[in-house]
Amino acid sequence: MVKPVAMDISDWNKWHQEYEDSNSELAHRARLVQKQVVAVVDTRAPSPVSIVSICGGQGRELFGALEDHPRRGEITGRLVELDPDNAAHAREWAHRAGMDALQVVNADASLSETYDNLGRADLVILSGVFGHIDEKDQKRTVSFLREICDTDSTVVWTSYEVRPERTAFIESCFNENDFERVAFELTPNDTFGVVVERNQGIPLPLRLNRKIFSFGSSRKRREPGRSTNTDDSGG
């Protein structure tokens, strides 16, 4: 089993500095996600492409992938990030890249109303989310994706500390909701897995006023009694 990477998650803005090391596992993961983001945009019909980034952090996987892409002006959708500094960073990046048609919102990604008035997404990015929520929340989150995805939409998700029992459970959640795995890659030290799923099911209506997940619920399970109040992050 791969030894977990030590991460200081007390300050999400500071935590993103690890991405600056091009040889870090986080940087490798970001590049794998970016590759899949570009692949999705390249294969979509010539029309606006709607992308939703849940707990999108500073937008490294999204804007880092598309800031020089010839179709960047066609990108719509929403990046949701709770940390205000990270959200401000993402908003400035979007503006510099000429991607102002995509909304960057400083909001709670775990609340269903955050995705109201959005329309159907062609691509959903879930990078660094499943590793911070427990199995009940993972199941709810995957089910929720049917409410924001269109048929044939793509979901790119990541898993921290790759273990068959963890990825098998999440994969079973996707299977139960009519998603089909189409790609899977690992970072060089097998610390992170990047998975691509395609929605084969019928979209469901968005149900408002619901809590989809509690960020940090996985640590509550592992460390009873320890406080886990943290912000969302793109990690």
Q: What's the pLDDT score for residue 127?
A: 95
Q: What's the pLDDT score for residue 5?
A: 39
- Please report, rounded to a whole number, the percentage of residues in the chain having pLDDT higher than 70: 81
Query: Whole-prediction pTM value?
Result: 0.86
Q: What's the pLDDT score for residue 25?
A: 87
Taking only the tens place, the pLDDT of each residue in 168-223 is 899 999 999 999 999 999 999 888 999 999 999 999 999 999 999 998 888 765 44
Of 145, 231, 137, nearest in space to 195 by CA: 145
Taking only the tens place, the pLDDT of each residue in 11-31 is 445 555 556 667 788 999 999
Domain 24-222 CATH class label: alpha beta
Q: What's the pLDDT score for residue 33?
A: 98
Give me the mean pLDDT over the 146-175 stretch. Answer: 89
d(CA 80, CA 110) in angstroms, rounded, equals 10
CB 148 within 8 A of CB 115: yes
Phi first, then psi: what are they for 161, rounded to 5°?
Answer: 55, 75
Q: What's the pLDDT score for residue 218?
A: 81
Q: What's the pLDDT score for residue 223?
A: 46
Least confident of 14-18, 56-60, 128-132: 14-18
